[in-house]
A and B are shown apart, each in its own frame.
Chain A
Amino acid sequence: MRRFSDDFPILSQDNNGKRLVYLDNGATTQKPQQVLDAVNRYYLTENANPHRGVYDLAMRATDAHENSRAAVAKFIGAPEDSVIFTQNTSEGLNLIAYSYGRAFLKPGDEVLIYVAEHHSNLVPWQWVAKTTGAELKYLYPDENGRLTVEELDKKINERTKVVAVAHVSNVLGLETPVEEIVKRAHAVGAVVVLDIAQSVAHMPLDLVKLDVDFAALSGHKIYAPMGVGAVYGKKALLEKMPPFLSGGDMIAAVHEYRTTYAEVPRKFEAGTRNVGGEVGLAAAMEYVSSVGWDTIVSQEEALIAQTLEGMNVLPYVKVYGEATAAGRHGVISFNIDDVHPHDVATILDSDGVCIRAGHHCAQPLMEHLGIGSCCRASFALYNTEEDVQALLQGLKHVREVMGLGS
């Protein structure tokens, strides 16, 4: 079988004298040679300021920009003219919250979000609620860490104007019931904002079919460079929204005291864009497609199942969210009894294993779970059974080092 890790040069290095086992993919993924080459090729042969020159090179840069948009659109199941390039998910969610929220929310309206949201799908809504007088309401998981239909039915009502949720929680790793959310939200005239930062690299997406109104992603979590991301929005909504940032490139005509804006999506792309990053994002999505969803999904599911099996027999490991592979994508969060996550991460690091420890930018969820922080192992298409074994061995090692027996 092809070893996908061979495509990722960084993975061949050592970590503290051990084989590097990278299990912090929820934070950011490594980049394959194919992506690095595509970015390099753009700067070596096509770079100019798109939309700003009439010469051939500038046309080629414009093509690189627009072709990347087409590739991203196709990958997420969206029409080309509904995809806006951003820096990352955070910028995308800010765009949606400020541009849509500030224009259309008013006192008495409700914005409904999940308590498991990443701060970047939470703080902007707090702020928008505060400035518009709308009320921020929360959905909570059940005791298995799942967002249930009953909870949706309890919270979605005719005052609900926005429902903003992560497709997959970056802590719980569990998929939210998007179809059910969309059905209920649309029935009361609310829009659905889907944070696909943690799902886009782990499952095929068809945003038009899902019928969400907005979505946001980060390229760096799907094997692309940092500093590029995308927003999807239904065209009709994007057209009636005011711009987010203003200035160069997002205009049609500027006069001393008034401006008309460019067409969507350019209306939302102020200033010179990260075209090299966009090319990298398109190349990353092409790379994922070339590996194939069947391979990625079955391989990652098998690794997650093995990890959970291994954790479930260690009495001192507690997994957050139902400890099954069903409906779980990419992420397992856990704690070790009597050991702080920070110490777990340091000791695993000495074994070559990189995991994340902390609040994962989801402090309200930590509060809800009654913990200050936790450990998170998160997977990508290059991870292997060996990586899982290294993690599980490492967990036993943690207990020994802390003088707690294994």
Chain B
Amino acid sequence: MDLKELYSQIITENSRSTRNRRPVPGATISLEGVNPSCGDDITLQLRVEDGVVQDAGFIGSGCAISQASASLMIDDIIGKTEEEARRLIKLFFGMIKGEADGDELDDLEDAAALQGISHTPARVKCAVLAWHTLEEALDGKQPEEF
């Protein structure tokens, strides 16, 4: 296990960053994603207008990997079309599965720092939580009512 790769400065700093940790005014989509096994919990909020993610933010708590991943994802998707966001999600999943590598990952920008997770299966769920929630949000999934 390479801890330097897993907990690089980008990850530790972004896990504590408050930049994207905020509710989104006028959000059109709000969806919670949880990892029951470790308790990572994020609520992703998006303002999507004319097929473009105009604004995004999240609130929640969890491990450094899950929180950094959420924050870095939001950096990636603000201003992008839904279509582009979906392509980034695919790219991120591909990176985690070890299927996408090298220059391909440039579009993920700093989120590519999470590549190390592909060697740490126990933490994959943490890394993909935000991206998985984003995918569900774009698919129009509604929060379940009990």
Contacts and interface: CB of A to CB of B under 8 A. Distances in A.
A346 B11 CA distance: 14
A354 to B, nearest CB: 12
B123 A359 contact: no
B27 interface: no
A360 to B, nearest CB: 11
B3 A350 contact: yes
A347 B63 contact: no
A358 B37 contact: yes
B65 A343 contact: yes
10 contacts: A338-B16, A340-B62, A340-B63, A342-B38, A342-B39, A342-B126, A350-B3, A372-B41, A402-B7, A403-B7
A252 B67 CA distance: 59
B64 A373 contact: no
Chain A interface, DSSP helix/strand/loop, else mixed: mixed
Contact of B1 (A338, A341, A349, A402): A349
Interface in A263-288: none
Given A340-B67, A372-B39, A401-B7, 14 more contacts: A338-B16, A340-B64, A341-B38, A342-B38, A342-B39, A342-B123, A343-B65, A346-B6, A346-B123, A358-B38, A372-B62, A373-B38, A403-B7, A403-B12
Interface residues of A, number: 19
A349 B123 CA distance: 12
A223 to B, nearest CB: 25
Contacts of B62: 340, 342, 372
A275 to B, nearest CB: 33
A346 B38 CA distance: 12
Closest 3 CB pairs of A and B: A342-B63, A340-B63, A403-B12
A267 B58 CA distance: 54
Contacts of B38: 341-342, 357-358, 373
**Size class of the B contact interface (CB-based, 8 Å):** 20 to 34
A131 interface: no
Interface in A307-342: 338-342
A177 B130 CA distance: 44
B61 interface: yes
Interface in B74-126: 120, 122-123, 126
Interface in A91-148: none
A289 interface: no
B11 to A, nearest CB: 9
A393 to B, nearest CB: 14
B14 to A, nearest CB: 11
Nearest to A338: B16
A338 B15 CA distance: 10
